[in-house]
Amino acid sequence: MPARVALKSVRRRGGLFEGIASNIQALAVAVKYFVDPQRATLLYPREYIEHRPGYRGFIVFIKEKCISCAACARICPSAAMKMVRVTEPDPKHPDRPRQKQYPVINYQRCIFCGYCVDICPTEALYHVPFQDVVYESLADMFLTLEAFQVEPKRPAVAEGSPVVYEVDEERGLVKRRR
C-alpha cells in the first residue's frame, strides 16, 4: 500500500475566550513541569555513561592477530591509519629478524566510523565503548605502535559512578545507576 495524501488545514484563531483558555493551558503545562521536572541531566564527571558493547569508541589493536594486509589503512576515509614498518625477531627463525608492517592511528583525524574494525580479516581491531579520553598535548594523539595496543583510560572512572540511560514511556530518557 503506497502512501496517501491527507489534506488538512490549520485551525483558525478563536475569539477572546479561546485566547484566555490557551493562555491558561500554556501556563498550566509550564507549572506542571516546574513542579516535576523529569530531568535526565548527566552530572559529568560525577557520573558517566556506560555505553553498550556495540558503541563505536576508541580503537585498540591486537598485534598477534595482524597479518599486515593494510586493508584498514586503505579503507580509512580520513587517512587516520597509517602502516609503519618495524623490524622484529622472527619466532620461526630466531637469528633472522623480519620486516613487518603494522598500523598506527592518528586520533586527530579519526572519525570513529568503524570501517577499519569491520574490514580487518582477522578481527585484530576492536572498539572500546567510550570516547571521553583526555590527552595532554596534541602530539600525544599520534599513537605509537605500543600505545595503540593499550586500552585508553577513561578519567571519569576514577571519580564518578556509572549510569545507564533507558527509554521510559512516561518520562522519556531516564538515568539509572548501575
Partner 1 sequence: MVLETILYIVAYPPLWQLLILGFLGSLVVAMVAIWFERKAAARVQRRIGPYWASPRLGGFINIVADMVRYVMQQVIIPNTVDRAAFILAPIVALVVSILPLAFTPLTPISLYWPVASMEFSLLIALAITTIPPLLVVALGWAANNKFAVIGSMRESYVITAYELVAVLAILSGAAATLSFNLVDIVEAQQPLKWLAILNPLAFLAAFLAVLMSTSAFPFEIPESEHEVVAGPFTEYSGVLYALNMGGAYIRRFVYAVLLSLVFLGGWAPYTPVSEGPIAGFIVPSLIVVAKATLLVLAMSFLRAVYGRYRLDQALEAAWRLAIPLALLGFGWSLALAYANVI
Partner 2 sequence: MRESHTGTSSGEGWKLPGMMVRRVEREVYEIFIGPQHPGSGHMRIIVRLDGDVIVEADPDIGYVHRTMEKLSEVREWLKPIPLLERMTIIDACNITVPYVNALEKLMDKSPPPRASYLRVLLCEINRVASHLYGFGIFGVFLGHSTMYMWAFGDREVFVELAEVLTGARLTHTYPIPGGVRRDMPQDFPEMARRAVRYMRRRLEEYRKIFLDNPVIVRRLEGVGVIPRNLAAELGIVGPNVRASGIKYDVRLVEPYEVYDELDFEVPVFEEGDALARTWVRVEEIKQSLNIIEQAVDWLERHKGEPVIPKEDFDKLPKLHKEVYEKTGRVKLLPAHASMKIPAGKAIARGEMGRGEIVYYVESDGGTTPYRVRVVTPSARNAVIFKYIVPGHRLMDLPAIYGSIDYFPPESDR
CA–chain centroid gap for 159, Å, is 21
Residue 98 touches partner 1, criterion: CB under 8 A: no
Rounded CA gap, 119 and 147, in Å? 22
Among 46, 74, 98, 176, binds partner 2 (CB under 8 A): 74
User: Could you tell me if 155 and 45 are in contact, meaning their C-beta atoms sit under 8 angstroms apart?
Assistant: yes
CA–chain centroid gap for 131, Å, is 5
Least distance (Å) between residue 35 CB and partner 1:
8
**167 binding partner (options partner 1, partner 2, none; Cβ < 5 to 8 Å by kind):** partner 2
Three-state secondary-structure class, residue 32: helix
| Of residues 33 and 135, the one with the C-beta less far from partner 1 | 33
Rounded CA gap, 46 and 159, in Å? 6
Residue 26 touches partner 1, criterion: CB under 8 A: yes
Residue 84 touches partner 1, criterion: CB under 8 A: no
User: Could you tell me if 173 and 40 are in contact, meaning their C-beta atoms sit under 8 angstroms apart?
Assistant: yes
Angle value at C-alpha 66, between 64 and 70, nearest 5 degrees: 160
Query: In this structure, what C-alpha cell is assigned to residue 58?
Result: 576508541
Among 62, 83, 119, 128, binds partner 2 (CB under 8 A): 119
Task: Pick out residues in 29-68 that bind partner 1 (CB under 8 A).
Answer: 30, 33-34, 37-41
Query: Which residues contact partner 1 by CB under 8 A?
Result: 26-27, 30, 33-34, 37-41
Query: Which residues contact partner 2 by CB under 8 A?
Result: 1-10, 13, 19, 22-23, 25-26, 28-30, 40, 51-52, 54-56, 69, 71, 74-75, 77-78, 111-115, 118-123, 127, 165, 167-173
